[in-house]
Structure 1
Amino acid sequence: MADEQSDIAEAGSTQSTAAHSTNSADSGVGNESSHQRENGGVSAAATAASSPEQAAPSFIPTIEDAYAAREHFSEYGVMRTPLIRLNVDMVRVAQDGMCGGMMEVYLKLENLQPIGSFELRGASYALATAEKEKLQRGIVTASTGNFAQGLAACAKRKGYPISVVVPDYAPIIKHSALERLGASVRRVPFEQWWEVLVHQKFPGLEDQHFIRPSGKREILAGNATLALEILEDLPDVDAIVVPYSSGGLCLSVGSVLQARKPDTRLIACEVNTSTPLNNALLAGRPFYCQHSPSFVDGLGFNTVLPEVWPHVQRMITTTARVSLNDTARAIRLMVERNHVVAEGAGAAPVAAALTGQAGPGKVVCVVSGGNIDATVLADVLQGIVPMPSGRPDARHGGGLGGNNGRQTETSL
């Protein structure tokens, strides 16, 4: 892979710049040229401009909330993570159809948190501020794994029982970590998991305190602290790329940028097997869309949560869409150049930057987590795009057929 970075850089320099142009709702989900291409996103400007101005709801944190959350971190073992430069040459990227400029990529290493994910930040502040009587009855959450690990780690410190509902494709490494932390894990089909997440209840556990990964001020305030650290370590940052899942991380980072550095671009990154935010921005409203599980298990819902939608479109600059191939190559690039192990969701922002979707300047990619199954990582390092790691056909036939249910990478 000696020429890996130059290949990605070349792809980024020739890629369509639609990610930085304005798309109207009339361009629509059916527009093949803008929506169905492998890479690229859509600007939030048109949709946000057409929406009525709304006051920030109670769950959007203030900058003071973020500073308050940081005061509790030592109690729960939350780290201040390093910000390092990706060891690749500067890349020239296009912008708005012009020749653009040079880009430097930086990595915010949230994979180094004790649980391997940024989610420990929000989970710690959620428990620090919750009513103790409710927590003693038990905690319930629905998560693909990382937020649940953060919550379980904090609950274990305080002796609170916790039950976690995970989708059936969640990686074994995350399932095992939850059990090791003392959580009771309920594995259900994605559709049932989504209903639990939306309605915040699970049969037989209605009397326990439900904590959802997004839509709660304390969680967003805790997660916003990573943006504080980025601005403290790199005050002249031009863009921050975050993985988009439930939308909470976008709102967290966006709240800090609006308060401290509103000229910084905020890019929400999705993997092209599930792009609810990109679709909502094109259509001008959220709607249910197809969700295809992949090894990038931390990303991919089937719609934008209704309480998130009015605010995420106001806070982000644009979306980015990355392929599974590019995400796998970004994982391998970080291992080889920086000795950093990231899961798919943590590598997706790097893939977005290296394919030209974050624009020029100093670009920070939030490496949101590093909880990747060893067998999945082994496949990726061999140039193979794995099946979803939680599926029984992931490495033993079925699935995509031919190569034991795996895909060999294709060129960009």
Structure 2
Amino acid sequence: MSAILEPVRPIELKEIREARSRITNTIFRTPLVRLELGPNFPDIRLKLENLQPINAYKLRGAANAVAMLSESERRRGVWTISAGNAGQGVAYAARKAGVPCSVVVIETAPASKVERMRRLGAKLIPVPFDDAWKAMEDRTFAEAGSESLGRGAGNGGAGGAVFRETIAADLHGVETIVCRWRRWQKYFPADVAKDAAGRGWFNCR
């Protein structure tokens, strides 16, 4: 039977700022680089999240979720389901925090990413896609025997939203963020949330 998940809710600006403080020693504040297309094109900047230690932005959410574990959860360790970047993010953050980590790896995952997760110290549990999907729905996997970071998805979301908040801080007047997400784009208007000075920030929904 599938687990009953918490209702989806907007992530508050306060949560994003708290997440930024928690992950500051784990992630790299990546630069914004202008995309030079010529004088008749809009001002477009690229956020180079490929410069993170795992070459992907998913370290942000993983680092925040690991940082919010209780002492008992840290002792038990954490597990997640991944075919690559998310598993690397959790493995990296867990290793840095001294927390045991298991990754339920889909059998079709790229060999290079599986090897990176292994090198980061994760215990790898290869499973068929259907088994991985069931574990994701149930938020439990007996062989992992530790805390599923999926239960704290909001914690991960706040961590992932930090990069949108830093874009607004580094580039005043930004109007829209375009975020690549599983083969389609998300658009984040700059007036979703505002700080006390009235500047636009971003609230990941």
TM-score (norm 2): 0.80
Question: What is the DSSP-based 3-state SS (H/G/I as helix, E as strand, rest coil) of the residue aligned with 1:71?
Answer: helix
Deviations 1:150-175 (A, max 9, x none): 11112112222111012223222211
Q: Is the 8 A contact 2:61 2:159 kept in 1?
A: yes
Identify which of 157, 161, 176 aligns with 1:224: 161
Alignment pair present for 1:125 and 2:64: yes
Amino acid at match of 1:208: S
Deviation at 1:254, TM superposition (A): 5.1
- The one-letter code of the counterpart of 2:29 is R
Query: In 2, Cα distance between the equivalents of 1:151 and 1:60?
Result: 23
Superposed displacement of residue 239, structure 1: 2.3
Q: Quote the residue 1:80 is aligned against.
A: 29
Equivalent position amino acid for 2:177 in 1: I
| Structure 1 unaligned spans of 5+ | 1-55, 92-101, 267-311, 316-412
Q: 1:65 corresponds to which letter in structure 2?
A: E
Between structure 1 and structure 2, the one with the greater Rg is 1
2:19 to 69, 93, 118: 69
Structure 2 CA distance for partners of 1:168 and 1:204, relative to 1, 3 Å: closer
Pick from 258, 263, 273: which aligns with 2:192? 258
Structure 2: stretches of 5+ with no match in the other structure: 1-5
Q: What is the CA-CA distance between 1:255 and the residue it aligns to?
A: 9.8
Equivalent of 1:165, from 91, 104, 114? Answer: 104
RMSD: 3.2
Deviation at residue 236 of structure 1 after TM alignment: 2.3
What amino acid is the match of 2:35?
L
SS across alignment from 2:44: strand
Determine the C-alpha separation between the residues in 1 that align with 2:90 and 2:124: 13
**Structure 1 counterpart of 2:141, from 202, 226, 236:** 202
Tell me the TM-score normalized by structure 1: 0.42
Partners in 1 of 2:194 and 2:33 — Cα distance? 21
Is the 8 Å Cα contact of residues 175 and 190 (structure 2) preserved in structure 1?
A: no
CA deviations over 1:196-228 (Å, ceiling 9, x no partner): 2222122323x410112x862211111111011
The equivalent residue for 2:113 is 174
Cα distance, 1:256 vs structure 2: 7.8
Distance 2:83 2:62 in 1: 14
